[in-house]
A and B are shown apart, each in its own frame.
Chain A
Amino acid sequence: MHVIVGIILIYSFEFSPKPTLSPNPIINIVKAKTIDKNQIDLELKRLRKKDNEKIEKELIRQKKIKKKEEDAKKKKLAKEKLKKLKKKKEQEVKKRKKEEADIKKRKEEKIKLEQENKKRIEKEAQKIAAEKKKEEKIKLEQENKKRIEEEAQKIAAEKKKEEKILQEQLDAELEAEQQERDLTVIQKYQILIRREVNSNFNKVNLPDSLECVILIRMLEGGKVVEASIEKSSGNVLFDRRATNAVYSASPLPVPQEIRLFKKMRTIRFTFDP
């Protein structure tokens, strides 16, 4: 269907414009002549007879031509058939020949392949053997190496252990020294703080048989932010004066180093004048 539409389309596309393009319209302009009717009829009869003869002649001629053409066609067909047959035969021969050659060739190739295979297998076998030998050698070497390494590791571990013990001893010594240094520093600040709080503890008119304990917490820099009475003296004024002493002394002298400060940020004051 599509094909038909396509054809129609092509047809209309190719031929329809033609009339418009033609400059001379193909129209037989009849020239009018006034002729006598009988004459016309006669003329017509004559013309018709003439035409019929002509047509018959033409038909015969055409029949002749057609027969001739058919003969020629038959002849040609026969010729072509023969030719085809001949060609077929030739091809068959050619084909057979080729097949024979192919078989021969294949045989040769097969033999060649077999030979090659054989050769390759042999070669591979050799190769595998060589590799196996090599692997064994490597394995042996590795084992040796491993044994040596293990021994070395063992020695190293022992050495490391010894070093570790030594390091621990050294660390302990250093730690002890650090602690001693820290203690010295803290003791120094302990003295400074004691002096500061002492000089802010107003014990005027206080009974001196009393004792109170105050726990304080400092911010970095020594500012006292919390002072709580851990153990009261039983005398409100004494407790208050003691607390005031700590607040008055704030900020207390403290080390700048945070690590040291943290060791003493909470202080327990015992007021025992």
Chain B
Amino acid sequence: MKVISKILIVSLIFLSLPTHGVLDIKITQGIEQSLPIAIVPFGWSKYNADISIDVTKIITDNLKRSGRFDVMDELDLPQQPTEFGAINFNDWRKLGMENILIGDLTLTANGDYDVSFRLIDIYRGKQIAGFRIPSKPNLLRRVAHQISDIVFKELTGTAGAFDTRVAYVTVKKNKDKKTHTLQIADSDGYNQQVLLRSSEPLLSPAWSPNGEEIAYVSFEGKNSAIYVQNILTGKRKKVAAFEGINSAPNWSPEGSRLAMTLSKDGNTEIYIISLHSKKLTRMTNHNAIDTEPTWSPDGRKLAFTSDRSGGPQIYEMDIRGGQPKRISFEGNYNSRPSYSPDGNFITFVHAVNGSYHIGLLDLNNGRIKTLTDSKLDESPSFSPNGGMIIYATIGERGAQLAAVSVDGRIHQRLGLQQGDVREPAWGPFLK
């Protein structure tokens, strides 16, 4: 009997031991941390001293700023290869480096550049992505952003938003005179372009879906009016200049209509205007304040701020009309909604005990998450890849731009320039 039981035990143990010498291990946890990458300074096949744009530095800064990457310090690079064959994989493996980016700029006969790069998986010794991008000297900065996007996409699985632009308003005080400037810049703050200067306030810039036009509010005629301005040509047209308030323009996803706030009928209500026919449709009808409309990405809904329940809260309504539904229930101050590109979230200003933070509302379960802990945050909007939220906040040098990742882990300050910087709007992907 004893023998039998022993044999049973033996066979049981054999069953639980690895079969054919293969041990099974299940990995169910994992960690969340920045992705290690080394960016090797790009080589110059033909040197051109005139070029002032450091492609490698732009990419490095982009990836660092995104907060998703742990970029190796240039001084720590074990080698600086510019082509695949020159990579000593073992050196990199020893350092635990998973990915490296190498590249090369070639001056062509007509003064243009060929920028080629390869993103390499060190452990497997294989190329993940590799491209050659023909470019002109004045477009090198953009090429660097495009490369950043490709690297970001390959390593994080989500699209990057480096090759995009932001619009914002700066205010400079010179004695008693204020200068308001509507500007756009690359997502890293460089390549600034002034669209409009005014002694009167400029507010609420909003990008058209194709990224070619910006709608904004100008008080230049002492009364507010909504304009749409073409970025390339600088030409603009007045879209709404009704009596009373003309504010908070927001483009429909297909780009043919604007939602806005007007008080022409006595109360601040949400309207939609067709840009072609100038036909105006009133969306709300309530004696409370309804403002800051924003289109859902599928174009079927509008979200807006209303104080119809007492304090400002966020409401959502069908574009075909009907009763708006309150969707924010936490806290007594929630305003300035903006949809995420996938339509699953809304970012907004969420006040807690008199401090204004950037909040994130999960539309699937109604939960609110506070992403920032600064005090006077305003005007949040999503990056086109949905990963970041840009907003304005009060910093040491006054109002400035900042961005936070959707998971709240990554915080960036965008030190664009001196003076107050407000009302940011993150533009769409560039074509």
A contact set with B: CB distance below 8 Å: 169, 172-173, 175-176, 179-180, 182-183, 186, 190, 193-194, 197-206, 215, 235, 237-238, 240, 242-245, 247-248, 262-273
Q: Are B30 and A183 interface neighbours, CB within 8 A?
A: no
A193–B18 Cα distance when bound, in Å, is 15
| A-B contacts, 27 listed (Cβ < 8 Å) | A169-B3, A173-B6, A176-B6, A179-B17, A186-B18, A194-B26, A194-B27, A197-B27, A198-B27, A201-B27, A203-B32, A204-B35, A235-B157, A237-B156, A237-B157, A238-B157, A243-B123, A244-B98, A263-B17, A263-B21, A265-B21, A266-B20, A266-B22, A268-B23, A269-B25, A271-B27, A272-B27
Q: Are A201 and B30 interface neighbours, CB within 8 A?
A: yes
Nearest-neighbor residue (CB-CB) of A179 within chain B:
B13
Nearest-neighbor residue (CB-CB) of B13 within chain A:
A179
Tally of A-B residue pairs with Cβ under 8 A? 124
Nearest-neighbor residue (CB-CB) of B11 within chain A:
A176
A197–B25 Cα distance when bound, in Å, is 10
B contact set with A: CB distance below 8 Å: 2-3, 6-7, 9-10, 13-14, 16-18, 20-35, 68, 93, 96, 98, 121, 123-124, 128, 154-158
Q: Are B157 and A247 interface neighbours, CB within 8 A?
A: no
Q: Are B17 and A269 interface neighbours, CB within 8 A?
A: no
Chain B contacts for A237, CB-based, 8 A: 154-157
A215–B21 Cα distance when bound, in Å, is 12
Chain A contacts for B124, CB-based, 8 A: 240, 243
A186–B158 Cα distance when bound, in Å, is 39
Chain A contacts for B13, CB-based, 8 A: 176, 179-180, 183
CB contact between A202 and one of B21, B23, B30, B128 (< 8 Å): that residue: B30
Chain B contacts for A267, CB-based, 8 A: 22-25
A96–B384 Cα distance when bound, in Å, is 158
A162–B362 Cα distance when bound, in Å, is 76
CB contact between B24 and one of A180, A204, A270, A271 (< 8 Å): that residue: A270
A205–B68 Cα distance when bound, in Å, is 10
CB contact between A176 and one of B9, B24, B30 (< 8 Å): that residue: B9
A267–B22 Cα distance when bound, in Å, is 5
- Min distance, Cβ B233 to any Cβ of chain A, angstroms: 39
Q: Are A172 and B6 interface neighbours, CB within 8 A?
A: yes
Chain B contacts for A197, CB-based, 8 A: 25, 27
